[in-house]
Amino acid sequence: MINKLIGQKYVAIAKSWIPTMTVWGAVGGVALVHFTDWRVILDYVPYINGKFKKAD
């Protein structure tokens, strides 16, 4: 169905870019966590959440 909509050539090009975009997405996610308040984001990760409990 997608082949009919955009063409077989462009589907092949998009498939070849999937690994590259996956890597860049992961790099962007790591950069987001690094340059923001990492604790706010990593509080949603179950394994890491328990390691950094504050003693209130």
pTM here is 0.58
Q: Three-state DSSP class for 48?
A: helix
The Cα–Cα gap between 7 and 25 comes to 26
pLDDT digits (tens, 9 = 90+) for 4-27: 788 888 888 989 999 999 999 999
List CB contacts of 48: < 8 A, sequence separation 6 or more. 42
Question: Once rounded to an integer, what is the mean pLDDT over residues 43-56?
Answer: 70
What are the domain boundaries of the chain? Answer: 2-52
Sequence-ordered alpha helix ranges (H) in the chain: 2-6, 8-35, 38-42, 46-49
Mean pLDDT score of the chain: 83
* Measured distance CA(36)–CA(56) in Å, rounded: 23
